[in-house]
Amino acid sequence: MIRRLLETLFPRRDNAAIDDELEFHIAMRAREFESGGLTPAEAQREARKKFGGQSTLREQTREAHVYRTVETLLREARYSFRALAKRPALWVAGTLTLALGIGANLAIFAIVDALLLRPLPIPEPDRFFVIAERRNGAHTGGNVPRMRAYAQADSLESIGGFFSERVAVIAGDGSRGLKTLRTSGDVLSAFGYKLAAGRNFTEAERNGDGNAVLLGHFYWQREFAAATDVIGKTLQTQNGALQIVGILPPEASLIEDHDIWLPSLASVQNGPATAGYLQVITRLKPGINPARANAQLGAAAGQFPEIAARLTPLNDVVASEAQTPLLLLVSVVVTLLLVACANLAGLLIARNSERARELSIRLSIGAGRWDLLRLLFMEALWIAAVGGGLGVLAGKWVLDVILAYRPADLLLASTIQLDWRAFIVAFLLTCFSALFAGLLPAWQAARSRQRTGRLRNTLVAGQIAVSMILVSTAILLVNTLLTARQRPFGFVRDHVVAIEFDMPWSTDGDKVKRFYDSVEAAARELPGVRAAGIVDRLPLQGGAQGYTYTRIRGVTLDDAIARRVVGLRAISNGYFSTLRIPLLRGRLAEPPHREIVINETFAKRYFGAADPIGASISFSRPTAEPKWYVVVGVVGDVARSAMDPAFPAETFVHHSLTYWPQGTLVIHGEGDPETLLRAALARVYQVDPYVLTKFSGTLDAKLESSWSEPNLLTSLVAATALLAMLLVSLGVYGVAASAVRSRTREFGVRAALGATPRMLASLSLSQGLRLATIGGVIGLAGAFAVPPLISAIIPGRSSFQAAELASSIAAMIALALLASIGPARRAARVDPAITLRHD
C-alpha cells in the first residue's frame, strides 16, 4: 500500500521506471528475433509490433501499481488550483469571507470551551465542588462556623473556604499591594493541588495562629526569579513579617491568580454564623455519590436558620453568569458563518455559470456527472482550506481583542486560548464550509438543466434574512444601551473624584472608623471642596451589603415581603451632599445613635402612604432578638446597576455602626479634577502612608467601568452585524451583475423599442429590492425570538419597538439598493445597436 501510494504521488519517477522496464523487454525480444535471422532494425520493429503501443502498456502497468482514484483527485486538485489562480478576485473574496466567519467562531468557541466545556484545571475535577449556600432562597456567602459544621460529613475528604483581599507589602520605595487569597480550612487539599516546594499550612496556622504564607507560582517567578532557597525567608507587611513556607504549583493560578495565600486571622474565623464572606469548596472521598453528600450537607445546614446548602460544580457557577451572553454570541457568530458560506456559494454559482461551455465540452467527451461534481467541489475545497487556515489567525486576533476588554473578575480567564481542541473545531468548520458552500453549486452545475439564477436568488434572500436578525439584534442592544445611559440614576457625578480603599478584612474596626473620619475631614479642608463623604460601594457598582429579613415594630408584614432582599449602604452624611442625592423627608442620621435613613423605594414598599419617620425597623431573623434602628430620613432612589432600570430598596447607616473596610472617599470640588485628586491623595497618605487604593480618579471614569460588559457584548454583535451586511452587499451585487449580463440582449431589445435608461436601470434595481423585501420579511419573523434572550442579559427589554424593526428593514433595503446601483448603471448604458449587431 505504501509503495502504491508513493508511486501515485510521484508519477514522473514511476513513468521513467516503467519505460526502462519496457525497453528492457523489447530489447530481449529483439535479440530473439535477431537469433532467428532478422536484421537488427527488422528485429527491433518486430519486437515493438509484438508488444503493442507503448502508451497503452504504460497505462496498464501503472493501473496495477497506483491508486487511480487518488491519482485522479490529485490531478483535479492541481487543475482546480490553476483555475482558481486565474481568478484571484474569487479566491481572495472567498477565503477572506470564510476566514472572518471561521475566526469569529473559533474565538467564541475558545471562551465557551474554557468556561463551560473543558474539565477544570484541578486534579480529579469530578470530585471537586463548590458548596452553594442560600438564605431564604437568596444566594449568600459562607462562614467558618457553618464550614466546620459541614466538615463533619463523612462523605467529604477535605473542605476549605477563601476570600480575596490585598495585603500591603513594605519595600524600600513604600508599600505595594499583593492580591491575597485568605483561607480557612484546608483549601490546598480541597483543590487537590500539590505544592511545587515547601509544605502546607499546619492545623494551627489554618486556624489563624502563626505567620506562614504560601507564594503564588507566577509571583515567585516574577519577584524571586524562581529561586529555590526562598523557603524560610520573610515578607515584610504592614501587619508584621510573614514566613514563606511553600510555593504553589502553576495550576493554582489558572482559576484565579493570587500573589500569596494567607490563613484568615482567628478574629475573622471566629465570627458569627450569620456572616456571609466565604466561598466554601470541598472534595468528596473517592467513590462517594454527590447525592449522599448533598443529603449530609442539608442535615448540617439545618442547624442554621434559613440556610440551605448544596454541592455545585464550579463550571455551573461560572455558567450561571456567562451562559446566556455566550449563547447569544454563539448564535451570532454561527449566523455570520452561515452568511459567509451562502455568500461563497453565490460566488461559486456565478463562477460555474461562466464555465457552461467548458462543462458541456467535458460532458460531450465522456465526463460523467460525478466527474463534474468532484471537479467543481474541489475548487470550493481549496477556498475553504485556505479560508480555514486564515480563520485560525483571525480567531487568534479576535480572541486577543475580546480578552483585552473582558471583565476583570472573569474566572478561568487565563485558561482561554486556542489549543488543539480549537484546531479540531477549525477543521470541522472548514469541512462544513466546504460542504455547505461548495456541494450545492457543484451539484447544480453538474445537472443537465441549470437554473443558476433561482438558486442564487434563494441564497441571497437567505443571507438577507439571517442578516436582518443580526442587524435587528444589534439595533436592539445599541438602543437598550443608549436608553440605559440616558436614564436618571438618582445622583450627580459632575466634578466628583473618588478614591477606593482596599484595607484587609482583618483590619480593626475602630481603626477603619478613625481612618474614614480622618480622610473625610482632611478632604473637606482642601481648597475648592464643596462636599466630601464616605460610601462602602459607589452607585452602579452593584450591592455591597444586604438584609434578607425586615421587621417593623408594631407592624405585621407579609412573610414574602419581609423576606425580600434589602440593600445596606455604609456611608457618612457627606455622601449625600457630595453626589447631590436629595433628602426628601426628615434629617440625616447622627452617630452614634442607632438611626437609619431609607430610600424612597423602601418607604413605598414597607410603609405605603404612611410617614416612616420615627418608625423602628430591624433586620434580625424572627427567632432572634431584634436590634432596632429608628428611621430619621428618606432620600431619593439611587440606581444600583447600570443596566437594571429598577431602583432597589436600600437603607443607609453611618459607617461607624457597621464594618466594611473597603470603602470609597468621594469629593465634590471646583476646578481641575486632576489637581483636586492629587491633593486628596496627598492628604490620604498623610493619614496612613501604607493604605492601599485600588482606584483613584474621576467618578465618571470609575462608573464607565459599569458599562464594560454590555459595551463589549454590544460591540461584538454590532461588528458581526456589519460584517454580515458587507457580505450581503457582495451577494446582492453579484446577483444583480449576473442578471444584467444574462439579460443584455433583452435590455438591448427593450432599448431598441423605446425603453429609456431610467426604465432599464429600474428593472435591475427591482431585483435587488425584491430580494431585500423577501429576505427582510423572513428575517422579521425570526427576529421576534431575540428579545427574550436579550432580556435575560439586560433587564427591561422584552420586545422590539416598531421603530427598531422598521430601521432594520430599511437598512437591508437601502443596502440592497446601494449594491444594485453599479449593475443598474451598466444596464442603463446598454447600446441596442451593438447588442443586436453582436447577436
pLDDT digits (tens, 9 = 90+) for 190-214: 999 999 999 999 999 988 888 899 9
- Which residue has 456541494 as its cell numbers? 439
Is residue 505 within 8 Å of 702, Cβ to Cβ?
A: no
| 268, pLDDT greater than 70 | yes
At 159 the pLDDT is: 94
| Mean pLDDT along residues 665-674 | 91
In degrees and rounded to multiples of 5, residue 633 shows phi and psi of -160, 160
| 787, pLDDT greater than 60 | yes
At 796 the pLDDT is: 59
Q: What's the alpha-carbon Rg for the chain, to the nearest Å?
A: 37
- Cα–Cα distance, 616 to 553 (Å, whole number): 5
The residues, any chain, with a CB within 8 Å of residue 434's CB and separated by 6 or more, are 377, 380, 381, 383, 384, 385
- Cα–Cα distance, 363 to 351 (Å, whole number): 18
At 689 the pLDDT is: 83
| Mean pLDDT along residues 300-311 | 87
Phi-psi group of 796: left, alpha or beta (phi > 0 → left; psi -120 to 50 → alpha; rest → beta): left
pLDDT digits (tens, 9 = 90+) for 710-763: 888 888 888 888 888 888 887 777 777 767 776 777 777 777 777 787 887 787
**In percent, how much of the chain has pLDDT > 70?**
89
Cis (ω within 30 of 0) for the bond into 592? yes
Which range scores top for mean pLDDT: 9-18, 136-145, 314-323, 754-763?
136-145
| Mean pLDDT along residues 453-478 | 80
Cis (ω within 30 of 0) for the bond into 582? no
| 770, pLDDT greater than 90 | no
DSSP three-state, residue 158? strand
At 414 the pLDDT is: 75
At 603 the pLDDT is: 94
Bridge pairing between strands 529-535 and 664-669: antiparallel
Q: Is the dihedral of CA 176, 182, 188, 192 positive or negative?
A: negative
At 216 the pLDDT is: 92
How much is the mean pLDDT over the chain?
Answer: 83
The domain ranges of the chain are: 2-80, 137-305, 322-485+708-837, 503-691
- Cα–Cα distance, 777 to 781 (Å, whole number): 7
- Cα–Cα distance, 705 to 456 (Å, whole number): 46
| 7, pLDDT greater than 70 | no
| 450, pLDDT greater than 70 | no
Of the candidate ranges 53-67, 297-311, 404-418, 818-832, the one whose mean pLDDT is the lowest: 53-67
The residues, any chain, with a CB within 8 Å of residue 341's CB and separated by 6 or more, are 98, 101, 432, 433, 436, 437
The residues, any chain, with a CB within 8 Å of residue 203's CB and separated by 6 or more, are none
Cα–chain-centroid distance for residue 17? 59
pLDDT digits (tens, 9 = 90+) for 469-482: 888 888 888 888 88
Spell 308-327 as b/e; 16+ CB within 10 A means b: bbbbbebbeebbeebeebbe
| Side-chain-facing half-sphere of 10: CA atoms under 13 Å | 10
In degrees and rounded to multiples of 5, residue 684 shows phi and psi of -60, -45
At 477 the pLDDT is: 83
* Long-range interactions of 775-778: CB distance < 8 A, separation 24+: 775/460, 775/461, 775/462, 775/463, 775/464, 775/465, 775/467, 775/468, 775/812, 776/464, 776/465, 776/468, 776/808, 776/809, 776/812, 776/813, 778/461, 778/462, 778/464, 778/465, 778/468
Is residue 448 within 8 Å of 367, Cβ to Cβ?
A: no
The residue count for the chain? 839
At 606 the pLDDT is: 92
DSSP three-state, residue 167? strand
Element (H, E) at 62: helix 54-63
pLDDT digits (tens, 9 = 90+) for 57-115: 666 666 666 666 666 667 777 777 787 777 777 778 888 888 988 999 999 998 888 88
Q: How confident is the model at residue 705 (pLDDT cuts 50, 70, 90)?
A: confident
Bridge pairing between strands 566-571 and 650-654: parallel
The residues, any chain, with a CB within 8 Å of residue 19's CB and separated by 6 or more, are 54, 58
| Mean pLDDT along residues 408-424 | 81
Element (H, E) at 400: helix 369-404
DSSP 416-459: ----HHHHHHHHHHHHHHHIIIIIHHHHHHHSSS--HHHHHHHH
At 794 the pLDDT is: 67
At 202 the pLDDT is: 92
| Mean pLDDT along residues 278-287 | 92
SS3 content of the chain, % helix, strand, coil (to 5): 55, 15, 25
Overall pTM > 0.85: no
- Cα–Cα distance, 798 to 645 (Å, whole number): 13
At 67 the pLDDT is: 60
- Cα–Cα distance, 255 to 252 (Å, whole number): 7
Q: Specify the amino acid at residue 573.
A: N
At 572 the pLDDT is: 94
| 617, pLDDT greater than 90 | yes
- Which residue has 500569596 as its cell numbers? 260
- Return the C-alpha torsion angle 393, 396, 402, 406, nearest 10: -170
Identify the DSSP state of 405.
T
Q: Is the dihedral of CA 603, 604, 605, 607 positive or negative?
A: positive
| Mean pLDDT along residues 540-560 | 82
Is residue 641 within 8 Å of 508, Cβ to Cβ?
A: no
At 597 the pLDDT is: 95
In degrees and rounded to multiples of 5, residue 802 shows phi and psi of -60, -35
pLDDT digits (tens, 9 = 90+) for 229-238: 899 998 888 7
Q: Which residue has the higher pLDDT, 839 or 613?
A: 613
- Cα–Cα distance, 100 to 395 (Å, whole number): 8
Q: How confident is the model at residue 811 (pLDDT cuts 50, 70, 90)?
A: confident
| Mean pLDDT along residues 550-554 | 89
DSSP three-state, residue 128? strand
| 650, pLDDT greater than 90 | yes
At 331 the pLDDT is: 84
Q: Is the dihedral of CA 785, 457, 345, 343 positive or negative?
A: negative
